[in-house]
Chain A
Amino acid sequence: MLSVYNINVWYGAIHTIKNISFEVNDGEIVALIGANGAGKSTTLKTLSGLLRSRTGSITFMGEDLMHMSAEKIVEHGLVHVPEGRRIFQQMTVEENLDMGAYTQPKETIAGNLERVYAQFPRLKERRRQIAGTLSGGEQQMLAMGRGLMANPKLLMLDEPSMGLAPILVEQIFDIIKGLHKDGTTILLVEQNAQMALSVATRAYVLETGRVTLAGTGEELLHNDDVRKAYLGG
Chain B
Amino acid sequence: MEFLANIINGMSLGSVYAIIALGYTMVYGIAKMLNFAHGDVIMVGAYICFCSMTYLGLPVIAGVVLSIIGCTVLGIVMERLAYKPLRNAPSLNVLITAIGVSYFLQNAALILMGSDPKSFSSIISLPALRLFDGALTISATAVITILVCVVIMVALTLFTTKTKMGKAMRACSEDRDAAQLMGINVNGTISMVFAIGSGLAAIAGVLMCSAYPTLMPTTGSMPGIKAFTAAVLGGIGSIPGAALGGILLGVIEILARAYISTQLADAVVFAVLIVMLLIRPAGLLGKPVNEKV
Chain A residues with CB under 8 Å of chain B are 48-50, 69-71, 74-75, 79-80, 82, 86-91, 95, 98-100, 102-103, 132-136, 139, 146, 150, 163
Q: How far is the CA of A30 from the CA of B104 in the complex (A)?
A: 55
A191 to chain B, nearest CB (A): 16
- Number of A-B residue pairs having CB atoms within 8 Å of each other in the complex: 73
**Min distance, Cβ A150 to any Cβ of chain B, angstroms:** 7
Give 1 or 0 for each of B80-95: 1 = CB within 8 Å of chain A CB. Answer: 0000000000000000
Q: How far is the CA of A70 from the CA of B60 in the complex (A)?
A: 45
Known A82-B177, A86-B177, A91-B167; contact A102-B183, beta-carbon cutoff 8 A: yes
Shortest A31–chain B CB gap in Å is: 20
B172 to chain A, nearest CB (A): 10
* B244-293 interface with A by 8 A CB criterion: 289-293
B185 touches A99 (CB 8 A): no
Q: How far is the CA of A133 from the CA of B118 in the complex (A)?
A: 54
> In the bound complex, what is the Cα–Cα distance between A90 and B175 (angstroms)?
11
Q: Are B180 and A50 in contact (CB under 8 A)?
A: yes
Q: Residues of B with Cβ closer than 8 Å to A?
A: 164, 167-168, 170-171, 174-175, 177-185, 289-293
Cβ–Cβ contact B292 & A91, under 8 A: no
Complex: A90 Cα to B292 Cα, angstroms? 12
Inter-subunit contact B171/A91 (CB<8 Å): yes
A146 and B182: CB pair below 8 A? yes
Indicate if the CB atoms of A48 and B181 lie closer than 8 Å: yes
16 A-B contacts, Cβ less than 8 Å apart? Answer: A71-B180, A80-B181, A87-B178, A88-B175, A88-B178, A89-B292, A91-B170, A95-B167, A95-B170, A98-B164, A99-B167, A102-B184, A135-B292, A139-B292, A146-B182, A150-B183
B239 to chain A, nearest CB (A): 12
A133 to B292, CA, bound (A): 8
Q: Which 3 pairs between the two chains have the least Cβ-Cβ distance? A: A74-B183, A103-B183, A86-B178
Partner of B292, one of A71, A99, A100, A132: A132
* Residues of chain B contacted by A48 (CB below 8 angstroms): 181
